[in-house]
Amino acid sequence: MFAALPHEMAVDGEGSVDIIELPLPIPSFDAVDVLTGRRVTSAYLVGKLAFLIFVDIYDFDYVPCWPPPKLPPGVIAEERGYRTKRALSVLQRVHEVFSGAEVAVLGVLRGPASWTEERAKALAEELGTRFPLIHNEELWLALGVDPYSHSILVVDREGRARLRGRWDDPIICGLGLDCQHLM
C-alpha cells in the first residue's frame, strides 16, 4: 500500500531526532476530543504506531519581532504557525490513509482551556483536521515536552515513546510521509 502524501514538505537539516534510549511509557490519560466531545484515553494508542503532536496554541499564534523566522521560499513572513499547519496537514493525511493499518495520530494541546479549545476548533476547520485533539497539559509534563520545542513523539505498539523530534526534522517527516515501512 503506497499513499501519495505531500512530498514538498521542506525540512530543517540542522535539527536532530532523539532516539529515546530507555523508551518512555505513555502515562494513562483520560481526556475529551475538543473537536467531537468524545472521550479519548490512553487505550486509543494501544497496539498502534502513534504520532503525538504537541501544540502550544499560544505559541502557534505568537510571532516574535526578532529574530525574523526562517521561512521556506514562497511563505510570507506574516503567515503565523506555518510549521504547525504543515505538520498537522501531513499528520491528517497519515490519519486518513493509515488509520485502518493501526496507525494513530493524536494532537496534545496546551494553553488556557476555553481559548485553546476554541482556537483548536478553528484551526482544525481551516486545515480539515479530523484526528483527535485533546487539551492535556499533564501529558506534556509527564513526558517532559518543552513547550517551545514543537515536538512530535513516535510511540510504538507497546505504548512506549521511541523517537522525539521537531515537526520539521527529516526523520519525523520521513515517518509521516512513508509510514508503510514501519508496519
pLDDT attached to residue 17: 57
pLDDT attached to residue 115: 77
Which band of pLDDT confidence, cut at 50, 70 and 90, is reported for residue 30? very high
The runs of H, that is alpha helices, within 62-156 are: 82-98, 113-127, 137-143
pLDDT digits (tens, 9 = 90+) for 160-175: 888 777 766 655 555 5
pLDDT digits (tens, 9 = 90+) for 49-107: 898 988 887 766 655 544 455 666 665 554 566 777 878 888 888 888 887 888 899 99
pLDDT attached to residue 24: 79
Provide CB contacts within 8 A for 10, sequence distance 6+: 72, 168
pLDDT at 3 over 50: no
- CA–CA dist 60, 26 (Å, integer): 24
Cell of residue 88, nine digits: 498537522
pLDDT attached to residue 147: 73
Comparing CA positions, the residue from 163, 170, 183 lying closest to residue 53 is 163
* 133 or 117, higher pLDDT: 133
Which band of pLDDT confidence, cut at 50, 70 and 90, is reported for residue 8? very low
pLDDT attached to residue 41: 95
Comparing CA positions, the residue from 154, 55, 52, 150 lying closest to residue 105 is 52
Domains present along the chain, CATH in parentheses:
24-182 (3.40.30.10)
Range ranked top by mean pLDDT from 72-76, 130-134, 157-161? 130-134
* 39 or 137, higher pLDDT: 39
pLDDT attached to residue 27: 92
pLDDT at 134 over 80: yes
